[in-house]
Each structure stands twice: as structure tokens, then as C-alpha cells.
Homo-oligomer: A and B are copies of this chain.
Amino acid sequence: MKKINIPAAFDRISDHWSPHIAARLNGQEVRLARIKGDFEWHHHEGVDEAFFVVKGRFTMRFRDKDVAMEEGDLIVVPAGVEHMPQAGEECWIMMFEQAGTSNTGEHESERTKRDLPVL
């Protein structure tokens, strides 16, 4: 039972769009990522994904609308729903999702991360 300070843990993350595992529970993972710029459109079959803004802001784009995510906001992207995070300035996010979920969803790209680092 070791605690982790979430804002301080971002000091140990350097790259953008590189999720790091902060905690594991019930087959889920708490992941942290620094994001900046556009990600890519993707979806996750059968698994939901939650995003919480630790610092900064970003836009969660859906095919039919954009949601402006401010500090302290939480949103759940339901399984199968296409989405693309977009951050004008650097933003720190905390995600909750099923262990093993690929960051680029159902397709692989040069942005797909495997063997996520553990904080």
C-alpha cells in the first residue's frame, strides 16, 4: 500500500502521448499521460475509457461534437465510440481503463505504445 502523488508523478514522464501506469486495480489501470497536439481518431472495442484533466485543458473530439475538457473535468468515452484528443497546449491527463487496452484502439500506428512504463 504505497501512495503515489499524481501531479508529482508527471515529473517522471517526458514524452507526449506516452501513457504510464500509476496504479492497477480490479483488472483496470490508472494511467497518466502528457498530451500536446493532435492524437489520432480511434476507438476501443468492448471497453470504456475515462479521462480526467489533472492540469491544463484539451478538446475531446467526437465525430458529432467536441467537448472542451477543463481542469478537474472527467469524461467517459463508451466502448466503440470514435474519439480524438487534441491539446493546443500541454495538458496532463489521468485515465482509467481496462488493463491491456491499446492507446490507439483497434488499429496500430507509429503512436501505438506497448509495455507501458510503470511509475
**Which of A's residues lie within 8 Å of B, judged by CB?**
1-8, 22-26, 28, 30, 47-50, 52, 60, 62, 65, 67, 69-70, 72-78, 81, 96-98
What is the copy number of this chain in the assembly? 2
Give chain B nearest CB distance to A45 CB in angstroms: 13
- Please tell me if the beta carbons of A76 and B6 are within 8 angstroms of each other in the complex: no
Q: Judging by beta carbons under 8 Å apart, are B28 and A74 in contact?
A: no
A19 CB, nearest partner CB in chain B, Å: 15
10 inter-chain pairs at a CB distance below 8 angstroms, sorted by A residue, are: A1-B75, A1-B77, A4-B74, A5-B70, A6-B52, A8-B72, A25-B96, A26-B47, A26-B48, A30-B74
Residue among A26, A28, A73, A75 facing the most chain B CB atoms (10 A cut-off): A26
